[in-house]
Structure 1
């Protein structure tokens, strides 16, 4: 398998090349076969490779395809490396990617740009696989920029609507801020370590930066900047809700399996720098805790079902950042995997609901759909239960319980971090129940105009099954401590150091259950039993102000418009007529004038041409006599 590792990313790339080259000549059936088949075969190859690693956890697959650049001592290669961490990401990317592609075959079948859609989706999967399989940071950065490009192409896929183009440009621009920080960080790493090979850096960094911890702190801060942009964490989170402009399969792919989890992967992969820079690692935990609360409150007020899920994604990635910040490396990756399955399920379910009710996005115009769309209802309920972390029976409970426990009990954990995560769990349960009640209960407000076929319902059922059982691969200390997932990852990531007594974990599980049940009951009370209470609350001035603030994403867009975008545009307009521009404008005007004068010589009259030749001959003959 080691020499065949390149097949995993090569298959989606082949699909992209075929579709971009021959897409206009292919039928929709052929297009879907290439688009879905290439990712499905990649998933099979990834599952086989991952299975081999499970049997031999200390095994690492490495393959060097060719030398990319060879200048002096700088010779990064196009080389792939799969260890335990990469195997988890490959498993999620390819398996969920294949289900999303299958779903897209029906969801996008009426779109005139069917082949372009699948070409971009295949390229997206390829770029993410390159990112997680790269054995050096330069190749990782190529995949990093690749997913940024693909997100721009897919968010703005329906470019006929100017708002979609604006959302794509916003995502591209805001993530460039983080990408710039990451690029500078790579320069700093190479300057200090004289290598961009990930294994060499991880081995050498503790010795190199032992005498210069400030440099390690700077590199860790720059890496964090890159992660914040891609993973939509404060203060670079505003692009993600607008990314809902793309088709629903795109939302599922971006939010669940690819782009927004790249930052989590980067921090986990380069954990050595964050362990050498405890201040930056603590900052990761703080940013994650604040983000999960800010985004959760915004999700609680949204009308658009996809925007609820978008803010939910920001909040759940905040939990992953919190885990990374307290040193719970495997807990962060466990929640990444679980979240990928239930969030893909929720986005695909939301897309199916929107299509079934004639493209209606507002939850307040839905209602009563549980009997009209039974398969979507039950699968969506499974995903929502996992998001809300219903105790014992959902995967989300086990992954979130780990993070809550480590936020308190890990060596870098703090009581106030746990408190913020606990409040976030309460809010998550509340907006999850609100979403389900508004969409599926109450009177039917919009008629169902179409029902999904098997290529949409099968991925939903498969994801629902995974969203349930996948949580049981890592159980808490007091549940038998069955931890094959963490044990597998510990071959790549360090152990989580505990400062609290593991026997007290059951108390925190009870508190987590209280948060979940409390959030569910709050939403049930206000959105189902006592609607009058909600209307009374909506008339309170303080509540109205908070509602407007949370609905607008805490006003970050307005803040950036006021203090960054408008001043920058004013400077560019003022700078348009500066001296430098006048100099180049003068050169252009002189060139244009000379061109017009020389063009006058091309009169088309034979007599003038002959006279010019005679004059030229006379001048040359005269110069020869004089010289």
Structure 2
């Protein structure tokens, strides 16, 4: 049976790409406005300290306004005019390799535009108050605007080359934002770690583009999609695996996930922007945007699903043992993106569900990061949940909005996560076909992994919620004076909470969101799940209730020790991020250091030794013949005479 994503009209392929008209012709302003403001704030310096942050806020909202106008244009367009290309200029004319700098305006890119600009603008407003006492607030907002411009370039680019420009831009901006307080050595190290690990992923994207040009003759999205079916499975598999490496680096998926927890060193608005709604979702966007390639590469598609399934469990296990509030949310982000990557490996229907969850997750995870920042703001930057407890009494708005985020990520109806994450879990149980080969094991494996992940998520997110806002007060009123945050911080949280409450049911109504994406994804082949849907839904609800109930008993009904308990070996491993840093050191850092020491030793003892040896030999030979240099002419005349005699004798000897 074939289930078409878009109902009731069901085209069999993505819509054609046509030239942009109307308000879409001004889409470039979404990128240029925040970019110009960012550069202006950086170049103007201290002159703009008093008002520069408000200019940055206005720039972000301007990008949202332009994006929303284009969204309305696409929303009112027919199927044939729902994908627009905006050519700006010829960028790289180099023989057979010709890249035009342009923007692709379609439902997929506009979904990201709405997420990045709306959530990003709310975070800008929040950051005005959060960074109020920082003397470099103007520079912080310049970096935020730079990030917005780079992220919009990434999702709007009409080719992999333009995407790569934005890809590197968000890498630079994230480095600057994570290490914003670089006077703290650990924070500077965290920024460098994120930068280096993302460069590993970037190499994957570069290799993918090189392979594309060799196999498809282009790096333009439209041209690659046309050429992929004719180029064969081998080329598609190679490109797909390279793209997966790139996605793992940017979206913190195994084995390139180790940077995300340390990246919490940046100011909390950075975590809400980069690590919830924008940069970490770029890998999912890359895979889904490359759907035409993955349709021809079942091996690469399976690899995407396996990486996602493994990472969703990996991140969830880490989240169960962390006491740092932000690191729990970081582990949760890693896990939730694992769900999206799993969906991205399950074909067109999975792509739609992955983007659906990505969109809702951007709201409720940004909400919880901002809630964490509000708690830190009220508790003198304390981040250890063992020092919290009963904060809902003094921070009712923060606690109430965080409650919404908690219910949304648990998947409690009618909150947003129920409509997006649960769809991914259900679809995971149908994963018994990858391209042209059957995998009867996959539906069971991926489905059970997704189900177990939901139970663990319910446990550790409930643990965070109860340890922070309920239970016994574990902070001293003499040391801390917690209070509710200012309206500049609470209003963005309230708006995000409203979205996390109602967005899911609105977008799921009559398949509204999947219909919206249908011009990009076309249709997908539907397979029956290995279990009845009703059984999957009951099982999902059951594991969520069990996970939350266990956390309620351990961290609400029972007293939470302030001191960290010893724990078993699994708890110790989770506290240490399942030894991901130690593994990376053993596999990559230590061998690389050993090789470099060998290279240095070879250079010192072999190369330099040879040069120095020749110099010493020359010196000794010079010293050996120096006695002949007397300075007397008669002596030199005698040497000449002796030489002539030797030459004559030698010549005569050869003649006879």
TM-score where L is the length of structure 1? 0.88
522-531 vs 225-234, which moves further:
522-531
| SS of aligned partner of 1:70 | strand
| SS of aligned partner of 1:37 | helix
- Between the two structures, name the one with larger relative contact order (CA 8 Å, sep ≥ 6): 2
What 5-or-longer segments of structure 1 have no aligned partner?
Answer: 476-480, 589-627
CA contact (8 A) 1:57 1:488 kept: no
Q: Which residue of the partner structure matches residue 439 of structure 2?
A: none
Residues 38-70 of structure 1, C-alpha deviation per residue, up to 9 Å, x if partnerless?
001101111111121112253223222211111
C-alpha distance in 2 between matches for 1:522 and 1:26: 52
Q: Which residue of the partner structure matches residue 334 of structure 1?
A: 356
CA contact (8 A) 1:538 1:544 kept: no
| SS of aligned partner of 1:75 | strand
Q: Which residue of the partner structure matches residue 434 of structure 1?
A: 463
C-alpha distance in 1 between matches for 2:536 and 2:341: 20
CA contact (8 A) 2:394 2:482 kept: no
Following superposition of structure 1 onto structure 2, how do residues 406-445 of structure 1 map, counting pairs within 5 Å?
A: 406-410=427-431, 412=433, 414-445=443-474
1:2 aligns with 2:63: no
Q: How many residues align?
A: 574
| SS of aligned partner of 1:196 | coil
1:293 aligns with 2:313: yes
TM-score where L is the length of structure 2? 0.84
1:452 aligns with 2:473: no
How far the C-alpha of 1:571 sits from its partner, in A, is 2.6
C-alpha distance in 2 between matches for 1:254 and 1:565: 27
1:377 aligns with 2:399: yes
Residues 165-214 of structure 1, C-alpha deviation per residue, up to 9 Å, x if partnerless?
111111111111111011011000011111111011111211222xxx21
| SS of aligned partner of 2:294 | helix
Residues 1:587 and 1:489: Cα distance change in structure 2 (over 3 Å): farther
CA contact (8 A) 2:108 2:520 kept: yes
Q: Which residue of the partner structure matches residue 111 of structure 1?
A: 134
Match of 2:259 among 234, 239, 252: 239
Q: Which residue of the partner structure matches residue 154 of structure 2?
A: 131
Match of 1:524 among 552, 558, 563: 552
1:182 aligns with 2:208: no
How far the C-alpha of 1:362 sits from its partner, in A, is 0.3
Following superposition of structure 1 onto structure 2, how do residues 202-601 of structure 1 map, counting pairs within 5 Å?
A: 202-209=225-232, 213-327=233-347, 328-390=350-412, 392-410=413-431, 412=433, 414-446=443-475, 447-475=480-508, 482-500=510-528, 504-531=532-559, 544-579=568-603
CA contact (8 A) 1:329 1:494 kept: no
Match of 1:97 among 116, 120, 124: 120
Residues 1:258 and 1:584: Cα distance change in structure 2 (over 3 Å): farther
C-alpha distance in 1 between matches for 2:586 and 2:541: 42
CA contact (8 A) 1:410 1:496 kept: no
| SS of aligned partner of 1:77 | strand
C-alpha distance in 2 between matches for 1:448 and 1:78: 53
1:140 aligns with 2:163: yes
Residues 468-508 of structure 1, C-alpha deviation per residue, up to 9 Å, x if partnerless?
11101343xxxxx6101101101101433221179942332
502-511 vs 401-410, which moves further:
502-511
CA contact (8 A) 1:148 1:172 kept: yes
CA contact (8 A) 2:371 2:493 kept: yes
C-alpha distance in 2 between matches for 1:110 and 1:587: 59
* Bigger Cα Rg: 2
How far the C-alpha of 1:393 sits from its partner, in A, is 1.7
How far the C-alpha of 1:9 sits from its partner, in A, is 1.2
Runs of 4+ in 1 over 6 A off after TM superposition: 580-588
